């Protein structure tokens, strides 16, 4: 798929304020600094679309970008950012949870994992949460340009093994790099194939009521 347009739509922090969920949507989730915003810029070919930073904790709201006037990419705050206050961390986590639970137009979550390290408890717990919520997801290994292919494969095998402890079927793992554009075609091809599966919701079912999982 060729990205012809990528436009910033909104930066909000609560479900009723997000754009009407009438087109397919794909969210990028992961620990702070894993490379979510950079990956969105790489996919859209626009380096200044989503704001990035060397410091974790850059993205603090839920940001919608409209692609090709027909679907959304969503950039989220990171989880597990230890240097922020407990109350801010809890606020971001609640925001992410409310978004995941209530966003009916969400077609797939891309769960970003740093390819340079072994599986982190917070990543595995996010994968489990997505499973409990019944949200399809794909794992994206980020920053692959920073490690050798041998270590990358080792980490991929370890990650797969950790997932196998909880899952019958391990979700797809795509290796990416925002520096070299590795993974771009595979991700865009996946989105292109998934878009036609979108089912528009009736007006009154746009938002699911919040609840506990």
Q: Which residues bind ligand GTP (CB under 6 A)?
A: 30, 32-38, 52-54, 56-59, 77-78, 142-143, 145-146, 177-179
Which stretches does DSSP call E strand in the chain? 6-12, 25-30, 62-67, 71-75, 106-114, 137-142, 173-175
Q: Does 38 bind Mg ion (CB under 5 A)?
A: no
d(CA 101, CA 211): 8
Beta-carbon-side half-sphere exposure of residue 9 (alpha carbons within 13 Å): 22
Q: Are 99 and 80 in contact (CB under 8 A)?
A: no
Cβ at position 123, least distance to ligand GTP in Å: 12
Cβ at position 83, least distance to Mg ion in Å: 15
CB-based contacts of 197, cutoff 8 Å, min separation 6: 24, 107
Residues binding Mg ion: what is the number (CB under 5 A)? 4
- Interface residue with Mg ion, options 6, 33, 35, 37 (CB under 5 A): 37
Q: Which of residues 55-74 bind Mg ion (CB under 5 A)?
A: 58-59
Q: Which residue is nearest to ligand GTP (CB)?
A: 78
Q: Among ligand GTP, Mg ion, none, what does residue 129 contact (CB within 5–8 Å per kind)?
A: none
Which stretch, 35-43, 79-87, 92-100, 141-149, contacts Mg ion (CB under 5 A)? Answer: 35-43
- Residue closest to 191 by CA, chosen among 51, 23, 52: 23
Helix 149-164 / helix 121-133 crossing angle, nearest 10 deg: 50
Cβ at position 160, least distance to Mg ion in Å: 26
Which stretch, 22-30, 37-45, 152-160, 187-195, contacts Mg ion (CB under 5 A)? Answer: 37-45
Q: Among ligand GTP, Mg ion, none, what does residue 172 contact (CB within 5–8 Å per kind)?
A: none
- Residue closest to 137 by CA, chosen among 30, 18, 21: 30
Cβ at position 20, least distance to Mg ion in Å: 24
């Amino acid at each position: 798929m060729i990205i012809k347009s990528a436009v910033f739509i909104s930066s909000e922090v609560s479900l009723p304020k997000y754009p009407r969920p009438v087109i397919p949507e794909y969210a990028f989730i992961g620990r702070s600094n894993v490379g979510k915003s950079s990956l969105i810029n790489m996919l859209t070919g626009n380096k200044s679309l989503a704001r990035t930073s060397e410091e974790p904790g850059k993205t603090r709201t839920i940001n919608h970008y409209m692609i090709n006037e027909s679907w959304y990419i969503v950039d989220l705050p990171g989880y597990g950012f230890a240097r922020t206050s407990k109350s801010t961390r809890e606020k971001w986590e609640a925001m992410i949870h409310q978004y995941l639970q209530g966003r009916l137009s969400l077609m797939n979550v891309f769960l970003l994992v740093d390819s340079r390290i072994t599986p982190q408890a917070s990543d595995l717990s996010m994968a489990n949460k997505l499973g409990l919520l019944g949200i399809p997801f794909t794992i994206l290994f980020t920053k692959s340009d920073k490690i050798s292919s041998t270590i990358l494969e080792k980490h991929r095998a370890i990650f797969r093994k950790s997932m196998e402890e909880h899952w019958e079927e391990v979700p797809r793992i795509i290796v990416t790099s925002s520096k070299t554009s590795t993974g771009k075609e595979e991700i865009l091809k996946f989105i292109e194939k998934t878009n036609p599966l979108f089912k528009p919701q009736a007006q009154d079912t746009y938002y699911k009521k919040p609840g506990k999982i």
